[in-house]
Chain A
Amino acid sequence: MPVRSRIVALTGAMSLTGLILAPQASAHGIVGVQDLPIPRWLFGWAATIVLVLSFVALAVLWPKPKLQETRERRLLGIPRLLDPLCGALGVFAFGAVVYAGLAGSEVASANLAPTAIYVTAWVGLVFAALLFGDVWAALSPWRALGRLGGWVAQRLAGDGLPEPMPYPERLGRWPAAVGLIAFAWVELVWTRGDEPVVLAVLAIAYAVVMLVGMSLYGVEAWTRNADAFGVYFALFAKIAPLRWERGAVYGRPPLAGLPRMDAGPGTLAVLLAAIGITTFDGFSEGPVWTDVAPELTDAISSLGFAQATALQFAFTIGLLLIIGLVSGLFWLGIKGMQTVSKAYDAPRLAREFAHTLVPIAAAYIVAHYFSLLAYQGQAMGYLISNPLGDALAPGDGGLLGTAQWTIDYGWVGANAIWYVQVGALVVGHVAGLILAHDRAIALYGNAREATRSQYWMLAVMVAFTSLGLWLLSAANA
């Protein structure tokens, strides 16, 4: 998290061991001591039992596909004005964050920009997407500006306005995957990644790239494929029981949006990157990385690089290796399916089962970032009243009167956080199993073959669950 980057940046004179160990204390705001009735590793065993029992229950009680075709119900109509209003809100918030970054305090925790980007947007919008659907699509500042630009151009040029170019199909969502990894690199690796000015400049640069892309390929096609955040939040929104479309809100069973997910080129990369990024964030706070990173950094610095550069190289290697490891695990499950039937090749199976990764990615994010959102998310309460981080007089409430608020670390305890983390991991992976089983029945035609095809997917789910719990346990230790 940015805290780590901050610490790394500010303590250049410290020994490398000190640099690596210091961030562990942050552990995403985990506060208090856990007093669990059983050791943490036993939760891993219990989760495995739940997954195996779920697998057996699906094999016995779920003989036909149920999720491939689900009906949506129109819940309510919404005024057409809401869309531009949300867009205007997004543009205003974007402007405020950029202004705070450029003009405000250089101290990351006192400035609105880092918390707004890394906590409220990056983490909070995932939670919002899981509960309420694609909130980001309505709030996205570049989408709103792109649509406004298109509307103005249409008014001015009329029929003379050329159609946008067709978005290259082969490119698919690869730009989004690259954007996601780049964002994670800034957040988790780059030592300047939480400097407000840097974040503001990067936000402007990203918005410019998005606007250029939208003007070339059209707002919706670009947002659907190349906007890393648009793609990222839209994938999680498919879990939600709500779907927003112009003028109406539709209700559907949770997960029902996923089987219809378009898994075109790059979609799998986005999902594997999302899981890998969260995994690395947890892994880099644990003892294994604490042991490995100094040696890796020393090896790189012996090639002639400065210590800080070598450290960033080491973290980059770690990030890419973990994304590779996560990808390898998924491919093992896919190759395992092929041992049952050669009817489908591996790339086809990977596309067909890509949507099963969405609840796993969501589970990892909820488990890993719940405490961050629960505690650090409260900082927005005082930051919106003092976005620049000015020194205020005692009792001065700032813009909205909330500048003196503080973070309440007592509202949720360490045990409750652990149970939320374990619950999220188990529910997410059981959801992944359900989706995979349902797709397998639709694909293979009979329940027996479908169940057999999912043996190795079960192993992958158990591996992901155990890995997630191990990471959390190491971070909480």
Chain B
Amino acid sequence: MMVMAHLGTDHWWASLLYLLPVLIVVAGIGITSWRDKRHEGEDDDAPTTPPGPTPAP
């Protein structure tokens, strides 16, 4: 980051530095959403435990 800081902002690619945090956040949110959905899918697919024998009183 310090290297980038010293490169200055006169180049056109300096504009991309404003886009980068957006892309990082979008990527992070995308991954989080995907994991959330996968967990939901696993919960839905989990086999239901058959009822066991009634415990003796």
Contact = CB atoms under 8 A, between A and B. Distances in A.
The B interface is mostly helix, strand or loop, or mixed, namely helix
Contact of A459 (B14, B18, B25): B25
B19 interface: yes
B48 interface: no
B9 A459 contact: no
A477 interface: yes
Which of B12, B15, B29 gathers most chain A CB within 10 Å?
B29
A113 interface: no
Contact of B21 (A45, A339, A452, A477): A45
A473 B9 contact: yes
Interface in B9-41: 9-10, 12, 14-15, 17-22, 24-26, 29, 32-33, 36
Contact of A458 (B18, B29, B36): B29
Interface residues of B, number: 22
A44 interface: yes
Contacts of A435: none
Interface in A413-472: 452, 455-456, 458-459, 462-463, 466-467, 469-470
Contact of B22 (A456, A459, A477): A459
Contacts of A463: 22
A339 B33 contact: yes
Contacts of B1: 42
Nearest to A45: B21
Contact of A44 (B10, B21, B36): B21
Which of B17, B21, B26, B29 gathers most chain A CB within 10 Å?
B21
A472 to B, nearest CB: 10
A444 to B, nearest CB: 14
B25 to A, nearest CB: 5
A466 B19 contact: yes
Nearest to B10: A477
Nearest to B24: A48
Nearest to B27: A459
A52 B25 contact: yes
A38 B19 contact: no
B56 interface: no
Nearest to B9: A39
A41 interface: yes
Interface in A290-310: none
A40 interface: yes
A411 B33 CA distance: 49
A466 B22 contact: yes
B46 interface: no
B5 A466 contact: no
Given A452-B36, A469-B18, A473-B18, A462 B25 contact: yes
Contacts of B9: 39-41, 473, 477
9 contacts: A39-B5, A44-B18, A339-B33, A455-B32, A459-B29, A462-B22, A467-B18, A469-B18, A473-B18
Interface of B: 1, 4-5, 8-10, 12, 14-15, 17-22, 24-26, 29, 32-33, 36
Given A40-B9, A473-B9, A477-B10, 17 more contacts: A38-B5, A39-B9, A41-B14, A41-B18, A44-B21, A48-B21, A48-B24, A287-B12, A288-B15, A339-B33, A458-B25, A459-B22, A459-B26, A462-B21, A462-B22, A466-B18, A469-B18
